[in-house]
Amino acid sequence: MASMLEAYRAKGDVLAEAWSKRPGTDVRGYEDFDDVDFLPGVTNPDKRAILAQLYENTYNWLKGLDESTRTLQVGSFEKFVSGSRAPSRSDS
């Protein structure tokens, strides 16, 4: 059991590192940014790992949708989650 938890934590740590330096070109709405930190201010390693896993799962799920599905069913959710607009360079 402990080895399974350790493996999950190790995967979470790798994902947290990746989501701390995600290229903006990987994420819709962040194309103008070189690297984006999606975990700013989250210092607890467990929370970082869990958030990174959630980001990765959501990112992979959204990648699997075609553009018409995203526009009709996910667009309003993305606006809700991101505060109704993509960031601009002046926000950083």
pLDDT (0 to 100) of residue 77: 58
pLDDT digits (tens, 9 = 90+) for 2-17: 688 888 888 888 999 8
* Rounded-to-integer distance, Cα 92 and Cα 87, Å: 8
pTM for the complete prediction? 0.64
Within 10 A of 33 (CB to CB), how many other CB atoms are there? 19
42: left (phi over 0), alpha (psi -120 to 50) or beta: beta
Q: How far is it between the farthest Cα atoms of the chain?
A: 47
- Using the predicted structure, report yes or no on whether residue 56 has a pLDDT greater than 70: yes
pLDDT (0 to 100) of residue 38: 86
pLDDT (0 to 100) of residue 8: 81
Picking from 24, 53, 51, 26, the residue whose alpha carbon sits closest to that of residue 39 is 51
pLDDT (0 to 100) of residue 44: 92
